[in-house]
Every structure is written in C-alpha cells, then in structure tokens.
Amino acid sequence: MQKPKYHAFVCTSSKINGQQKGFCSSKDGVEIVQNLVEEIEERDLNDSVMVTNVGCFGICSSGPIVVVYPEGVWYKEVAVDDVTEIVESHFENGKVVERLEIK
C-alpha cells in the first residue's frame, strides 16, 4: 500500500465501547463519513485520500468535525452537503475550504 496524500479523520462520536453516541453522530457524522468515502471512490481518489472514522475531538459544539492531514486543517460544522466541496476543492485541487476552517 502506498502512503496516501491526504488523511481525513471524521468524527462520528465513536466511543471505545463501540457505541456511536454524541454530538457529531447526532448531526449526521455517520452520513458525512459515508458520503465522503463514496465521493472519493466515485472520483477515483482512493490512492490519494484515506478516510478514518474517529471519536470525539473535544470541541463537540463546533461539530461535526473533519480533520485533514498533512495540513492539519480542522473543519467545523460540516454538513452532508459540504462533502462534495471538500473533495473537489481540498482533495482534487489542494485548496482548503476556508469557510469551514477553524482558524
């Protein structure tokens, strides 16, 4: 396996006990990660973008949170409808979606 160019961590409020219960999961966190994976597959970006489902980042009231490396960009209040823009702008064109960025 080759190392991906981008690694996106999506908060779905996954707990250590296996439950998905928390702010980001109540705000479509699971749907966001599913749509992100689908969009990446449709655009044939599987080799350059890895998506990982994670637990709480500790800033729940700003969720759902998506964190992207190597830049260390933290996106806040991500909605299902924002997924396409993140994929197009950030992963295809290398341009951070500033309106969602935590600065």
| Interacting residues toward ligand FES by CB under 6 A | 11, 13, 22-24, 56-57, 59-60, 63, 65
Contact indicator for 61, 55 with CB cutoff of 8 Å: no
Least distance to ligand FES, CB of residue 79, Å: 14
Least distance to ligand FES, CB of residue 101, Å: 16
Least distance to ligand FES, CB of residue 102, Å: 11
Closer residue to ligand FES (CB): 8 or 11: 11
Closer residue to ligand FES (CB): 3 or 103: 103
Q: String of b and e for 84-95 (b: at least 16 CB within 10 Å)?
A: eebbeebbeeee
Least distance to ligand FES, CB of residue 78, Å: 10
Dihedral sign computed on CA atoms, order 86, 66, 96, 100: positive
Closer residue to ligand FES (CB): 46 or 52: 52
Closer residue to ligand FES (CB): 30 or 63: 63
d(CA 85, CA 56): 23
Q: What is the DSSP string of 62-100?
A: G-S-EEEETTTEEE-S--GGGHHHIIIIIIIT----GGG
